[in-house]
Copies of this chain bind each other. A is one copy, B any other.
Amino acid sequence: MKIICTRQNLIQGVTTAQRGVSPKNPLPILSGILLSAKDNQLELKATDLEMGIQCTVPANIQEEGSIVLPAKYLVEIVRRLPDTPIQIETEQGINAVIRYGQSEITINGFESEEFPAFPAPQGNDTFSLPEEELKEILRQILFATSNDENRPVFTGVLMEMSEGDLRLIATDTHRLALREEKVADIAGEKNIIIPGKALNELSRVIGAPDRKVDISLGDNQIIFSMEDTRLVSRLIEGQFPNYRQVIPQGHKTRLRIKTKDLLESLERASLLARVGTQIVRLSLETDKMIIFANTEVGRIHEEVPIYLEGEAMQISFNAVYLIDALRAIGSDNIYLDLTGPLSPGVLRPVDGDQYLSLVLPVRTS
């Protein structure tokens, strides 16, 4: 393999592909990025066997071929290269010479034949979403996934597709986020669970205005295709809990609150409450919410103006869960709907009914 590439294209390629590399992978070759030169393109691939990312960047191909280079060093070196044309040439298929100006770096790598076969995309049921829109949907959902690998379904996001409707749901059993979207391309019915990790990496590579992501489903895999990048992920097997049961129908109390007011008050309360259990008590009165926390460091009493409809009440929450939900909601004003001190609180944007998130209260006393 022998190619010439601009520094900018090379940075773009290796920083995208490295998102497929898992830091704790036991196979040495999986700490690498597979570079393949053909058809006037440099293709870069990385995988942890659960998920893979592949992207292409323009390059002048002088000799076709391929090699696997360690992702960590490749990324750091490429970022520090001068802004001149960069030549990469393999030697005996196991190392690569990177030449720039009068200087060169030789990195030891692996033969490309040893790189595991990339999950071959075999998609059906394709539909598309604008990149910016999908990024915002993921921002609203991903915070509610769990990190506990012992219960895999909660580390994933449930994607329900049903005749023109797309619905994404995540829950770690303490909170839940749900987003609905009309997508005309969707036909038939299908439910899958996508690993949160793959969606997190996806959300980092998308977001360009006026571009679309094509989403297609295969047997136990999902493929996200962007302009020069493709992300393939296995699906999580298992039964996602019946989330509909958890979402209260109706409410006894509805608050309308400025997102920023409540968020800033909770952030201050959380500074003190973190010394304990992050529990804050909310007292809801006609025109204000009183937030209260008491720990060994001190105590806080915050007043936030609200509009209250229905019954006044007291309820306690984990401050961090409320803060996460408020940061994700993407609306200047919210409704907080409550049915009682032991029932979940439901947060919704005032302007729209496509999104809600739900937080379980904490039983105190």
Contacts and interface: CB of A to CB of B under 8 A. Distances in A.
Interface of A: 70, 73, 76-77, 80-82, 95, 101-108, 264-265, 267-268, 271-272, 288, 296-303
Contact of A80 (B267, B299, B303): B267
Contact of A73 (B265, B267, B271, B299): B271
Please tell me how many copies of the chain the complex holds. 2
A231 B44 CA distance: 55
Contact of A104 (B70, B77, B107, B300): B300
Contacts of A272: 73, 77, 105
A219 to B, nearest CB: 39
Given A297-B108, A298-B108, A271 B103 contact: no
Nearest to A77: B271
A268 B303 contact: no
A105 B280 CA distance: 13
A102 B264 CA distance: 14
Given A264-B80, A267-B80, A73 B298 contact: yes
Contacts of A299: 105-106
A264 B84 CA distance: 14
B303 A105 contact: no
A360 B268 CA distance: 51
Given A107-B297, A297-B73, A297-B107, A101 B303 contact: yes
Contacts of A70: 297
Contacts of A80: 264, 267-268, 271
A296 B107 CA distance: 9
Nearest to A298: B107
A302 B272 CA distance: 53
Contact of A298 (B101, B106, B267, B303): B106
Given A70-B297, A80-B271, A265 B103 contact: yes
Contacts of A108: 296-298
Contacts of A267: 80
Given A80-B267, A268-B80, A301 B73 contact: no
Nearest to A291: B103
A339 to B, nearest CB: 27
15 contacts: A73-B272, A77-B268, A77-B271, A80-B264, A102-B288, A103-B268, A103-B300, A104-B300, A105-B268, A105-B272, A105-B299, A105-B301, A106-B299, A107-B298, A108-B296
A230 to B, nearest CB: 29
Nearest to A102: B303
Nearest to A296: B108
Q: Give the top 8 A-B pairs by smallest Cβ distance, nearest first.
A: A102-B303, A107-B298, A103-B302, A105-B300, A106-B298, A106-B299, A80-B268, A108-B298
A35 B282 CA distance: 32
Contacts of A264: 80, 82
A106 B296 CA distance: 11
A33 to B, nearest CB: 15
Contacts of A103: 265, 268, 300-303
Contacts of A271: 73, 76-77, 80
A288 B80 CA distance: 21
B268 A301 contact: no
A272 B271 CA distance: 42
